[in-house]
Each structure stands twice: as C-alpha cells, then as structure tokens.
C-alpha cells in the first residue's frame, strides 16, 4: 500500500516544488478532460468551456508569505500557500459550476480540504466564483506526495468580470477610486443578471427540444 506523505516534509527545493505541483496540475487537467468527455458521451453536452492552469511564481509566493508574517522557506511555501498550483474551470452556466464541483468531489483519490462559495455569498467587491482546495496524490519513483491544488470554477461572464477586477487592482495597487469600485459592484450585479437569464433561456430551449423529441 502506498503511503501518502505530507508535502511540506518531503519537498526541499524550488525545483521539487515546480516538479510536484506541475505533476499535480497535469493530473487534475487530465481528470477534468476525461470527466468532460464522459459527460459529453452520456448527456451530449460539455459543461466545461475551457481550463486554465498555472504555477504561482516564486516572487508571488514570497510576497504572500511576507504579507502573512511567514519566513520565506520552502516548507512554509508548501504549508501555508494553498494556491501554488491553480486551476480555473470556465463553464457556460451557473448550474454547470455545481455539477463540475460534484464530479470532482466524487473522485476517490481527490480529497476536498475546503470550499468557498463566492457565488451564493459574493465578496464585497462583487467577486463571484466557486473555490475548492483539494489534494491530489503525485506518484514519484520513490514516494507518493499529497499536493494541494486550488480549483476555481466560474462562468464565462464571471471570469470576464474577475479579469477586469484583477487589472484594476493591479493598476491601482489595490486602492482603486471609490467610483471605480462602485461601478465594479454594479457590473457584478449585471453579470449575475446575465447568468441568470442565460440559465433560464438554456433551460427553456432544453424543455422545448424535449417536447419535440430532439
């Protein structure tokens, strides 16, 4: 039987960080592609529009550690920074978000550590997304390491809004003018309305197709 080891006690260099977290991303991406293909086979519908993945840069990790008062060590990186490996899943409809989250949750070797539902309870800025912190086993030649991956699931409209917010925060270094923040919140409400109307329209189309036997 394989023994799963705490990552912070098994990773000693930045090269190893890159190795195991890249491996974790590959595993998650492959799993999501398989689930999407299976969903297409069973339901003739793809819930996932596209997938983005990235490894956080060492500079960003060090800044995050300093912001939270931790020393910049490899052990602290792995222990306290949960989004070194990040996967963003973009889908068409809000219902797809919860469908995808459930498919991930049912994977026997993916362990869900935490969930933050910013769709039901948005951030004050208007940010909406569904976050899952999971661990996935990475099988190396001499050991198996449980690696944390942050998964964000959102609609195309939510992703567009989040991209704009990120650009604004970067430009103003997190101190955007009040009227810009207010406009962002208003745009978030518009995004929610659009997602809701698109969801309703999609359900109506499916109901009409079912009536016609298509």
Inter-axis angle of helices 94-105 and 178-211, nearest 10 = 80
Domain that holds residue 90: 4-157
- 150 part of the active site: yes
For residue 148, the domain's CATH number is 3.30.460.10
- Does residue 10 lie in a domain region? yes
Q: Which tens digits make up the pLDDT trace of 138-169?
A: 998 888 999 999 999 999 999 999 999 999 98
- Provide the β-strand partners of residue 145: 5, 138
- Does residue 214 lie in a domain region? no
Inter-axis angle of helices 94-105 and 14-43, nearest 10 = 110
Name the band, by pLDDT with cuts 50, 70 and 90, for residue 10: low
Distance CA 121, CA 188 (A): 13
Q: Which of 71, 150, 165, 204 is catalytic?
A: 150
- Does residue 127 lie in a domain region? yes
- Does residue 75 lie in a domain region? yes
The answer to whether residue 4 scores a pLDDT higher than 60 is: no
- Does residue 191 lie in a domain region? no
Q: Which of 9, 39, 7, 38 is nearest to 24 (CA)?
A: 7
- Does residue 36 lie in a domain region? yes
Contact 42, 67 (CB under 8 A): no
Q: How many domains are there within the chain?
A: 1
- Does residue 145 lie in a domain region? yes
Name the least confident of 50-54, 62-66, 169-173, 210-214: 210-214
- Does residue 89 lie in a domain region? yes
């Amino acid at each position: 039987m394989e023994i799963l080891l705490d990552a912070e006690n098994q990773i000693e260099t930045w090269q190893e960080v890159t190795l195991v977290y890249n491996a974790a991303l590959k595993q998650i991406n492959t799993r999501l592609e398989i689930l999407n293909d299976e969903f297409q086979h069973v339901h003739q519908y793809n819930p996932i529009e596209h997938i983005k993945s990235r490894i956080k840069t060492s500079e960003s990790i060090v800044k995050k550690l300093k912001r939270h008062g931790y020393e910049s060590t490899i052990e602290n990186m792995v222990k306290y920074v949960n989004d070194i490996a990040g996967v963003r899943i973009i889908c068409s409809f809000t219902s797809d978000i919860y469908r995808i989250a459930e498919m991930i949750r049912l994977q026997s070797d993916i362990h869900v550590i935490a969930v933050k539902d910013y769709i039901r309870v948005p951030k004050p800025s208007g940010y909406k997304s569904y976050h899952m912190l999971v661990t996935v086993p990475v099988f190396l030649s001499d050991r198996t390491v449980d690696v944390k991956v942050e998964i964000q699931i959102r609609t195309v409209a939510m992703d567009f809004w989040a991209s704009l917010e990120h650009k604004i925060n970067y430009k103003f270094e997190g101190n955007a003018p009040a009227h810009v923040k207010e406009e962002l919140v208003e745009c978030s409400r518009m995004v929610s309305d659009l997602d809701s109307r698109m969801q309703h329209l999609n359900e109506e189309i499916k109901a009409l197709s079912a009536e016609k036997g298509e």
